[in-house]
Structure 1
Amino acid sequence: MSRNSPPPPKQTEEEQRAPPSTTTPAYSAFSRHQKNTILALAASAGWFSSISSFIYFPAIPVLAADLDVSVEKIKLTVTSYLIKSGIFPAIMGDAADRFGRRPVLLLGLFVYLCANVGLALQSNFGLLFFFRMVQSAGVSGTYSIAYGVLGDLFTPAERGEYSGIMSFFLNTSPSIGPVLSGLLLLRWSWRSIFWFLSAATPCCLVPMILFLPETARNIVQDGTVTAKGFNRPLISALVPQVSFSRCPEVLVEPVKKKHRHFPNAIASLKLVRIPNTAIILLAYGVNYATYTCLQASLSTIFLEVYGITGVAAGLIYLPFGCACAIAAFATGTLLDCNYRRTATEAGIAVDKRKIGDLLKFPIERARTRTIKLFVALSAALIVGYGWQLNTKTSMAGPLVEQFFIGLTIQSLFTALNTLIVDIHQNCPYTAQAACNFVRCEMAAADLAALDPLLRSLGPGWSFVILAALVFFLVPLLLLLEWRALKRSWVLACTV
C-alpha cells in the first residue's frame, strides 16, 4: 500500500504485514553464500529441537523397565516436554525480537547442553521429569528462531524454496533419531542417548559462537548496521562488509529499537487476536497434534501388535521420517510456483530482491491453494492406517501407509511455517513462538487422551477420530483463502 493511501479496515493486520521500513535497494545486504550459511547454522540448532523428541521415543519401554515405573508414567515426560515446548518459546520469542536472535539462540543451546548432561547422569523418575523440562526449555525455541532468521533474510518470493530446504533439514530427525536411538540401545544403555546429544551440541554451539551474525532487523536492519556486544560474532566472516565500511550512496533509516524490558510471554499470544493468524495457528495445532500422536504411539503399538524390539523399534520410524523430509523439500518448490502463479493472476510483478506489499496480495491463497488436496488425502490415509493396525495385517501395510501419511501431512507444516513469517514480517520469531505454543499445548492434550482412547476404542476408531480432525482443516483453509481474496479486493478498490 502506498504511504498516501488510506489504511485498511483492520489496523492490527496492517501493522503485522507491513514490510520493514528501509530505503536500501535490496531486502537483505547479506550475500547469497552468507544467507545460505546462516540459515544452515540456524537450521542445525532447530534440528536438536526435533531430534530430542524422536530419539527419545524408542527408549520409552527401556526407561520404564530400568527406572521401575510404568510406560504410562514415562510418557508423562513426553507430555511435560511438549507443554514446556509451548511455554518457553513464547518467552524466548519476545526476547529474540527485542534482544536479537544470536544471544537467545546461544543461551538456549547452552541450557540444552547442561540438561543433556543431567539426563545422562540421573537415576530416578523425578530427575528424569525435571531435566526433560529443562531440556525443553533450552532447545524448544531454536525451531522457531530458525524461521525467524528465514524472515530476516529472504523475501516472500524466494521464501518458499528456502523454507522447504530448512524443513527438509529439520525433518531428518524423525528418521535419523529413532535409528540412532536403536543403535545406541543395542550397544549401550539409555544413558548413551543423552551422552550423544551432549557431545553433538557443541558441534553446533561452537561454530555459532564464532561465526553466527545477528540478523534481527530491528538491530541490524538489512545487515548494514553493525551489531554490538553479544549480538556481534567473534569472527565476521558472515557479516556484510558494508557493515564496517558504509557506502555513502546507500542510505538506511535509523533502526527503531524496542524498549528492552523483561521478556513477556503474553506478547506472542496477542497475535491470536488477528483472525487470519488464529486460523493458521488452529490449523497448525491440529495437524501437529495428529503428527505427534502418530509418532509417539508408533513404538508401543508396534510392540503390542507385532512384538518388535531393539533396532527394529527404531527402524519403523524410517518410512515416515524419510517421507516428511522429501515432502518438505518438494513443498518448498511448490510454494514458490504457487506464489508466482498467484502473482500472475493478481497482475503483480515478482521481484525476489524486494519484499513487496503483501496487504494487497492474497498471500494466504498463494501458500495454501494446492495444500488442501494433500490435507484431505492425509486424513484418508490415517483412517486406513488405523484399521490396518486394528485388523493386525502384515507389518508392511502400516509402514507403507506411514510413508504416504508423511508425504501428505508435512506439506501443511511447510506452507504454514512460511505463511506465518509472511504475515508477521516485523516479528517473525514472536509469531513462530505463538505457533509453537498452540501446537505444543494441543499436542500435549491429544497425547494425554490418546492412551485411554486406544484402550477403549482400539487403533481403528481412535485414528478415525484423528483423521476427522485433520479433514476439518480443509474448510478452515478455504475460509483463510476467502478472507485473503476479500481483503486484497477491498484494498484494490480503495486505492
Structure 2
Amino acid sequence: MATIERQESAIQTVQLRDIPLDIEHAIVQDDPREWSNARKYVVVVIICAAAVIAGLGGSLYNPAISEVEADLHASGEQISLTVSLFVLIQGGFPVFWSAISEIQGRKVVYLVSISVCTLGCIVAALSKTINVLIGMRCLQAVGASAVVSIGAATLADLYEPEQRGTMMGIYLCAPLLGPSLGPIIGGILTQSFGWRATFWFLAIFTGLCIIPFVFFRDTFRCERSLTYQAALRKPRKEPARPESPDDEPAEVKSQCSSVETKVNVDLEAHVPKLDEPSTRTEVKLSLKDVNPIRPMIAVLRCPNNVVIIIASALFFAFEYSLLYTASLTLANVYEYDALKIGLTLLSFGFGALLGSVVGGRYSDYILVQMRGRHGANSSPEMRLQSTLYPMPFVPAFVMAYGWVCQEHVHVSAICVILFLSGFLDVTIYSSTLAYIVDANAGRSSSAVSTNSCFRGLSGFVAAEIAVPLQNCLGDGGLYSLWGGMMVIAELLIVLVWWKGRVWRERANA
C-alpha cells in the first residue's frame, strides 16, 4: 500500500514538473498577492506619497528660476542646466536602482534613494553658488528617480494583471500631482520666503516620506525575479550542496525573455511551509550583479518592448514640451505671473489625473473581457485595445492647442484644450505602462526603468528644442508637428497590439 502511494506521489510530481510555470506565480512564502486588501492599500498609499517627489522636484523649482538667476548671478545656460540635467538624470538613473532592487529588494532602494534626495534638497537650500546648485539638482534627480519605476514594480508584486491597470492608474496620479500643484506651491513659497524655501519644503516632504518605509514590509520575492535567479545560477566560490531528485528546481520561463530561470519550490506540496525557515541561497551583491546594462538589453531584445517604449517616450516628450512652452506663452503673450500660470496649467493636471484613473480601470475591464472571451489564448497585448478609442482625438486636440495659442484666443479655450489633452494623453499612457509590466514577467522593474530612461532622454531633447522651434514655427506650427508625432506614436501602439504577441514568442523561442 505504501509502495502504491509513493508511486502515485512520484507520478503527480512528474506531472507538475511538466507544467510550465510563469515566474510571476512561482510559489513563495508570505505571497504579497495574498495579503489583505487593507494591507495592500497601505503599501499603495506609502509609495504614492513617495512618487509625488518625482513631480515636485522638477515643477516646484520652476517659479523660482528668475530669483535663483539674480541671487546666484547665474547665466541662462547655467539655469537651463538646472532644469534639463534634472530631467535627463531622473529619466536615466532608474535603471541602476532597478538592478539593485532585483537583487536586494525594494525596501533598501526606497530608503537609500529618498535619503539621497533629501540630502540634495538640504544642500541645495544652503548653496551659495550656481555650480553647487547644479550639482545638488543632479543629486536630487538621482534620489527622486527610483520611486516611479520601483513603485510600478511594487504594484506588480502585489496585484494580478487583471487588477494592475486600475492600480497603475491610481499610482500614476501621484507623480502627476507634482506638475499640477508644484508651480502653485513653488510660486507661493518663492513670493513669500524666497527661492530657498522651495528646497526646504521638498527636504521636509522627502524626510517625512522616509519614515513609513522604515516599517515597510518588502514586497520583493527573489523567486519571482529573473535577475536574482540569474545571479543565483552563477558559479560561486563555494560549491552548492547536492540536491536530491525531489529538490530538483522547476524550470520557469518569463514572457518576452530568452532567459530560463530556476525556482526552488516544493511542487508536491504546492504551497510553502510558512513555519519552516527559508532555504533560499543568499546572493551577495556585487557590481556585476547590479550592472544595469544586462537587464536593459534583455528588455530591449524584445521588439514589442522597443516599439511600445518609443511610443511612450513620444507621449512624454509632448507633455514636457507642452507644459514648458505653455508657461512661456502664458507669461509673454497673456502676461500672467507664476501663480496664474500654475493655476492655468492645473487644467492639464486635472485632466491627466482623471485620465490616469479612467484609463487604468478601463484597460483592466478590456483585459478581463478579452480573457473571458479567449481563455488560455489571451495575451497582454489585449490590454492595448483600450487605447484605440481615444486615439483619433489626441492629434486633433494637440493641433487645436497650438492654433488657439497662435491666434491669442481667450484663456478659457486653452484651459479646456489642456484638460482634454491631459485626459486623453494619460489615458493612453496608463494602459501602455500596465502593458509594459504585464509583458515582462519577472523583469517589471527593469522594463519600467528602461521605459523611464527613454522618457527622460526624450524629455531632455524636448526641453532643449522646444523654445527654438516655438520661436521659429510659432505655437501653431510647433503643435501641428507634435500632432503628426502623436499619430506616429499611436500607430506604434497599434502595431504592438497587432504583432506584439508574435514578437514576444519569437524572442522567447
TM-score normalised by length of structure 2: 0.81
- Distance in 2 (CA, whole Å) between partners of 1:465 and 1:347 is 42
Structure 1 residues 250, 269: closer, same or farther in 2, change over 3 A?
closer
Residues 1:274 and 2:295 aligned together: no
Counterpart position of 1:169 = 174
CA contact (8 A) 1:186 1:310 kept: no
Is the 1:365–1:484 Cα contact (8 Å) retained in structure 2? Answer: no
Quickly say closer, same or farther: Cα 1:264–1:23, change in 2 above 3 A.
closer
Answer yes or no: is the 8 Å Cα contact 2:23–2:224 preserved in 1: no
Where structure 2 has 5 or more consecutive residues not aligned to the other structure, the ranges are 1-15, 226-268
Instruction: Judge conservation of contact 1:121–1:191 (CA < 8 Å) in 2.
Output: yes
Q: CA separation in 1, counterparts of 2:452 and 2:284?
A: 24
Counterpart in 1 of 2:161? 156
Asked if the contact 1:383/1:464 (under 8 Å) is kept, the reply is yes
Please tell me whether residue 260 in structure 1 is matched to residue 270 in structure 2.
no
Change (3 A) 1:23 1:34: closer
Letter in 1 for 2:95: A
Distance in 2 (alpha carbons) for counterparts of 1:102 and 1:67: 37
- Structure 1 stretches (4+) deviating beyond 6 angstroms? 23-27, 487-490
Q: Give 1:13-412 correspondences, 5 Å limit.
A: 18-22=23-27, 28-71=33-76, 73-209=78-214, 211-218=215-222, 250-251=271-272, 255=280, 260-262=285-287, 263-270=290-297, 271-348=299-376, 360-366=377-383, 368-412=384-428
**1:481 counterpart (478, 487, 497):** 497
**More moved, 65-74 vs 327-336:** 65-74
| In structure 2, distance between residues paired with 1:466 and 1:370 | 22
Matches of 1:312 and 1:438 in 2, distance apart?
Answer: 32
CA deviation after TM superposition for structure 1 residue 488, in Å: 9.6
Q: State the shift of 1:114 in Å.
A: 0.6
Q: Which amino acid aligns with 1:429?
A: S
Q: Distance in 2 between matches of 1:258 and 1:334?
A: 40
Matching residue of 1:461: 477
Percent identity of the aligned residues?
Answer: 23
Q: 1:310 to 1:434 in 2, by over 3 A?
A: closer
Equivalent pair of 1:365/1:485 in contact (CA under 8 Å): no
User: What secondary structure does 2:34 align onto?
Assistant: coil
Which amino acid is 2:218 matched to?
Answer: E
In structure 1, stretches of 5+ residues that fail to align are: 8-14, 222-247, 349-359
Amino acid at match of 2:221: R
Hey, what's the Cα distance between the residues in 1 that align with 2:448 and 2:374?
Answer: 28
Taking the aligned partners of 1:306 and 1:296, their CA distance within structure 2 comes to 15
Contact 1:281–1:438 (CA under 8 A) maintained in structure 2 = yes
1:414 aligns with 2:442: no
Structure 2 counterpart SS, 1:375: coil
Separation in 1, partners of 2:349, 2:72:
29
- How far apart are residue 489 of structure 1 and its match? 10
Q: Once the 2 structures are TM-superposed, how far is the Cα of residue 20 of structure 1 from its aligned partner?
A: 4.0
Q: Is the 8 A contact 2:310 2:454 kept in 1?
A: yes
Task: State the alpha-carbon separation in 2 of the partners of residues 25 and 157 from structure 1.
Answer: 21
The total of aligned residue pairs comes to: 443
Letter in 1 for 2:374: A
SS at match of 1:370: helix
Note if contact 1:60-1:71 (Cα within 8 Å) is conserved in structure 2. no
CA contact (8 A) 1:219 1:257 kept: no
In the alignment, which residue of structure 1 is the partner of 2:233? none
CA deviations on 1:76-118 (whole Å, 9 max, x unpaired) are 2221112111321111110011111001110001010010011
Shift in Å, 1:398: 1.5
Deviation at 1:472, TM superposition (A): 0.7
Of the two, which has the highest radius of gyration? 2
Partners of 1:310 and 1:446 lie apart in 2 by 22
TM-score (norm 1): 0.83
Decide whether the 8 Å contact of 1:92 with 1:141 is kept in 2: yes
SS of match in other structure, 2:33 = coil
Q: 1:249 to 1:219 in 2, by over 3 A?
A: closer
Equivalent-residue separation in structure 1 for 2:136 and 2:352 (angstroms)? 29
- Assess if the C-alpha contact under 8 Å between 1:381 and 1:401 holds in 2: yes
Counterpart of 2:350 in 1: which secondary structure? helix
